[in-house]
Amino acid sequence: MSAPANPHPDRRTVIASSLAGTAALAASRALAQDAPVGGTTPVIELPALPYPLQALEPVISQRTLEFHYGKHHQGYVTTLNDLIKDSDLAGKSLEDIIVAAQADASRAKIFNNAAQIWNHTFYWNSLKPGGSRPEGALLKKIEASFKNLDDCKAALLDAALTQFGSGWAWLVLEGEALKIVKTSNADLPMVHGQKALLTIDVWEHAYYLDHQNQRKAYAQAVIDKLLNWEFAARNAS
């Protein structure tokens, strides 16, 4: 039986790396700075998914990604562009928008939408069809900060399960140590002095179509089968 046709071949393009520090981001910054006076201000764009929509099955179905990427992630992008248009934040990088909005309680809606764009792009990159295993310097760091890889994964699962309500479970670098943390709603490590290495979305929309209310079945399968440890290693270096 052949795989279902990908209805979005234009989304097959692989995005090079994480949001932070990519050539694409540098290019978008250069574009922002070089925008001609009176020209069109660049908008925040929805990055391409790094794999086809069906590539994470059976853990995460094509239907979940059609909604989660095509509706939720796209929705945050559309809303943020509406919110910042004609403001001092128009044309700024996503990271700059997140940091500026986080410092201003009157801009909570901007923060929530901007952070959710960043979180979701980071989450797609934290997953890889077929998964991978940590090696080399990252594995050494894991063994220095946790007893071993199994303990690191168990702590990540525990964070995913004990985050009350919507949020995220993360592997982060804080100083020289790796830590597992959880955040609520759109909150994210970069505003807490931590560098994100991997994340798992534990909002219900991430798993309800495939696993209904069983967050543990989803989080355990993601940890066992889909984590992109090469992406984590790039973020840690």
Q: Which chain residues interact with Mn ion by CB under 5 A? A: 201, 203
Pairing of strands 177-184, 167-174: antiparallel
Provide the β-strand partners of residue 195: 173
Comparing CB distances to Mn ion, the nearer of 174 and 204 is 204
Comparing CB distances to Mn ion, the nearer of 76 and 146 is 76
Comparing CB distances to Mn ion, the nearer of 84 and 117 is 117
**Cβ atoms within 10 A of the Cβ of 57, count?**
17
What residues have CB less than 8 Å from 177, skipping those under 6 apart? Answer: 144, 145
What residues have CB less than 8 Å from 76, skipping those under 6 apart? Answer: 113, 114, 116, 117, 120
Q: How far is the CB of 23 from Mn ion (least distance, A)?
A: 26
**Mind giving me the DSSP string for 204-218?**
GGGTHHHHTT-HHHH
Comparing CB distances to Mn ion, the nearer of 201 and 210 is 201
Q: How far is the CB of 123 from Mn ion (least distance, A)?
A: 7
Q: How far is the CB of 66 from Mn ion (least distance, A)?
A: 13
Comparing CB distances to Mn ion, the nearer of 203 and 231 is 203
Length of the chain: 237
Q: How far is the CB of 70 from Mn ion (least distance, A)?
A: 12
Of 90, 91, 136, 101, the C-alpha closest to 237 is 136
Query: Which residue has the closest beta carbon to Mn ion?
Result: 201
Q: How far is the CB of 167 from Mn ion (least distance, A)?
A: 10
